[in-house]
Structure 1
Amino acid sequence: MRFARWRAAGEHGSAGSVREGVVASVEGVDRLVAFDDGTTVRDLTRAGLPAALERGQAAIDAAAASGALDRAPVLADVELLPPVEPASVRDFVAFEEHVEGVVKSVGGGAVVDAEWYDAPTFYFTNPHTLVGSGATVRPPATERLDFELEVAVVIGAVDGREGRDLSPEEAGDHVFGYAIFNDWSARDIQAREMKVRLGPCKGKDFASTLGPWIVTADEFAGRHDDEGFLPIGMEVLVNGERIGVDLLSNMGWPFAELVAYASRDSVVVPGDVLGSGTAGNGGCLGELWGRRGELSPRPLRAGDEVVMRVEGIGEIRNVVGAAAPAPEISRARPRPRNRPAAVVA
């Protein structure tokens, strides 16, 4: 089953009415069936996957019985939004081949640091700048705009519970569904930030695409290999030219282990989004720049269209917009290192 969020075409901001519901295929045409009681996709993740599937099917059945299904909007008539409003977004770096290329791009040879193999690593990015498929992405002023081809899982409750200190087996039950994730990156800004040994921040948090919808985990039942990986194809195209192609099963850890690690001494809650990290073999331009020793293919620029497709999920499309001017922030000012003699509370 597929769950989505959308806004009617031509409506923007708070003036537009956001709808949430289920995507139903009617004679080969995808139609969007809104929940008529205010149920949100985030509510479904709190209810858990079995209840969500029942709620989605009930909405389709009711629309079909009333004749509303044939009148439900089609994808071409709406603006797709990120399919869930997440509490948090974690993004891992789980593809060894991607790490090899990026390490080389910053002058580190092609050897992956031993620490990468010890445990999954992730960072938190901005849940408030997620965009949907079809949105124009406004980057910061950058000379090295890049895409990142990823798959994300959305977390659901199990028996009404969030996930704390989960085992991989328990964590797998908390995977509510899957979506395509594009972690847009300004590589020059990111490189400066990482030299401070913190981040990334402004090189990443201007936009991430999540969509086009959530495909529920039951759709992939029986497709995992013996180690828990999903061998499904992924590809990315820029202006119609295929740049990268990979298998999701080339991750270093399956999603169940990523979710378990995220919950260690912590918590994952319904609606959380966890990205796989960038695929290898051209999953981003930065990897290719590192392998080729030059900016080839060129960095993204205004007007470029980036399309990502993942087997069993669908595709997302975004066009790069123009960077907007931003106010300058001054360099750090030298400060005298005086200290108080005492501090009185």
Structure 2
Amino acid sequence: MKFCTFSHPARGEMRPGVLTGDGAMIVDLGDSFPSVLAVIKGGDEALARVRDLHAKAEIRVPLADAKLHAPVPVPEQIRDSMLFEKHVQQAMEQIARMRKPLLGPLMVKMGMIKVPATWYNIPIYYKSNRFSVNGPEGIVQWPRYSQVMDFELEFGFFLGRGGKNIRPSEARNHIFGFTIFNDFSARDAQSIEMQSQLGPCKGKDFDTGNSMGPFLVTLDEIGDPYALRMQARVNGETWCDSNSSTIHHKFEDLLARVSADETVHPGEFFGSGTVGDGCGLEHGRYLKDGDVVELEVEKIGILRNRVMRQK
């Protein structure tokens, strides 16, 4: 199933919904559930109720007439990680070129810039601002303290079952579904912060900076999460065309790491980190005021946002 949070002219408030099989209509779940998060927390019983409502389809709204919001506007928690080796390697190389204009390119050419061994040993992650979630077609407000804005092509999962000390072999039983994630980044602020060995902070934490959507697709409909085409376009120009098969650390390993002696809860979001070639940093080029960024992940859809400088 494909869940969404939407609004429409007849009922202006945000409503939880699920797409019909042909993808043309939204079944309004708002009279049975207050939110998509409530469906997630409701477990198998809630999903059974949704299937019943989906079959009856008593209240339908044309998708074309609806305004989509982030599937879960305020997640219980956001953890973002770095699971793609190519992104980590290329980002480190580009940072070396920028910080050491004379020596950096030579170091890259000689293969001296290497991903730390720690990265290969454990999945690395940080906690992000769960209150700054944006949705499809939402405007991303370029923070006033930044001059260098970037996008990041990611996807991730919402936890459907909580737990602690979850084994990798059991992890998929805890996953509710997947959505696209654009972790917009103020690269100049991030660069300064990361030199302190603590962060990121304002490089990531600004209103509207975490964009998610357009749908939350259940695991059974996704199938293999490691066989999805991932694309990024800026103003229609393709900047990245990759695949989730290039992932190094699997989501199962990430969940096992996070839940080690730490209870995780339904409704928490776990991001994959950027796929290789999936951000401007890796290309040495960045966004401009008014640029439209489209992230597309197979079986999930297209997440589109425009970045705008604040006046």
Q: Same fold (TM over 0.5)?
A: yes
Task: Tell me the distance in 2 between the aligned counterparts of 1:75 and 1:133.
Answer: 13
User: In structure 1, what is the Cα distance between the partners aligned to 2:10 and 2:194?
Assistant: 40
TM-score (norm 1): 0.80
Whether contact under 8 Å (2:16, 2:35) holds in the other structure is yes
Deviation at 1:213, TM superposition (A): 1.3
Q: 1:144–1:299: 8 Å Cα contact kept in structure 2?
A: yes
Q: Say which of 148, 158, 174 aligns to 1:144.
A: 148
Q: Matches of residues 112-261 of structure 1 in structure 2 within 5 Å?
A: 112-141=115-144, 142-157=146-161, 162-206=162-206, 207-221=209-223, 223=224, 230-261=226-257
Q: Which amino acid aligns with 1:112?
A: V
Deviation, 1:252, is 1.0
1:148, 1:257 → 2: CA distance?
Answer: 22
Q: 1 CA distance for matches of 2:181 and 2:10?
A: 25
The match for 1:22 is: 18
Aligned to 1:283: 278
Any idea what SS the aligned residue of 1:163 has? Answer: coil
Paired amino acid for 1:89: I
TM-score after normalising by structure 2: 0.89
Q: Which of 64, 67, 80 is equivalent to 1:91?
A: 80
Q: CA deviation at 1:168?
A: 0.6
Distance 1:241 1:75 in 2: 26
The worse-fitting range, judged by mean Cα deviation, of 201-210 and 89-98 is 201-210
**Unaligned 5+ residue runs, structure 1?**
224-228, 290-297, 325-345
Deviations for 1:229-254, whole angstroms, at most 9, x for unmatched residues? 61111000000000011111211111
Contact 1:94 1:253 in 2 (8 A): yes
Asked if structure 2 preserves the Cα contact closer than 8 Å seen for 1:82 and 1:212, the reply is: yes
The Cα shift of 1:216 comes to 0.2
Q: CA deviation at 1:3?
A: 1.0
SS in 2 for 1:17: strand
Q: Distance in 1 between matches of 2:127 and 2:64?
A: 33
Kept after mapping to 2: 8 A contact 1:35/1:59: no
Unaligned runs of 5+ in 2: 97-103
Whose radius of gyration is greater, 1 or 2? Answer: 1
The 3 A distance-change label for structure 1 pair 36 and 190 is: same
Where 1:44 maps in the other structure, the secondary structure is: helix
Q: What does residue range 4-23 of structure 1 map to in structure 2 within 5 Å?
A: 4-8=4-8, 16-23=12-19
Cα distance, 1:57 vs structure 2: 1.6
User: In structure 2, do the counterparts of structure 1 residues 240 and 10 end up closer, same or farther at CA, with 3 Å as the change threshold?
Assistant: farther
Question: 2 CA distance for matches of 1:137 and 1:9?
Answer: 23
How far residue 101 of structure 1 moved from its aligned partner, in angstroms, is 1.0
Q: Is 1:46 the equivalent of 2:41?
A: yes
Structure 1 residue 35 and structure 2 residue 9: aligned?
no
Instruction: Output the aligned Cα RMSD.
Output: 1.8
Distance 1:139 1:172 in 2: 36
Quote the residue 2:297 is aligned against. Answer: 310
CA distance 1:182–1:25, change in 2 (3 Å): same
Task: Quote how far apart the aligned CAs of 1:32 are.
Answer: 4.1
Percent identity, aligned pairs only, is 38
What secondary structure does 1:112 align onto? coil
Partners of 1:53 and 1:242 lie apart in 2 by 37
Query: 1:103 is paired with a residue of what secondary structure?
Result: helix
What amino acid does structure 1 have at the position aligned with 2:139? T
CA offsets 1:145-196 (integer angstroms, 9 cap, x no match): 1000001100012xxxx21111012222101000000000011010011112
* Cα displacement (A) at 1:10: 10
* Cα distance in structure 1, aligned partners of 2:226 and 2:123: 17
Paired position in structure 1 for 2:89: 100
Letter aligned with residue 286 of structure 1: L
CA contact (8 A) 1:143 1:299 kept: no
Number of the residue aligned with 2:100? none
Distance (Å, rounded) in 2 between the aligned partners of 1:255 and 1:137: 28
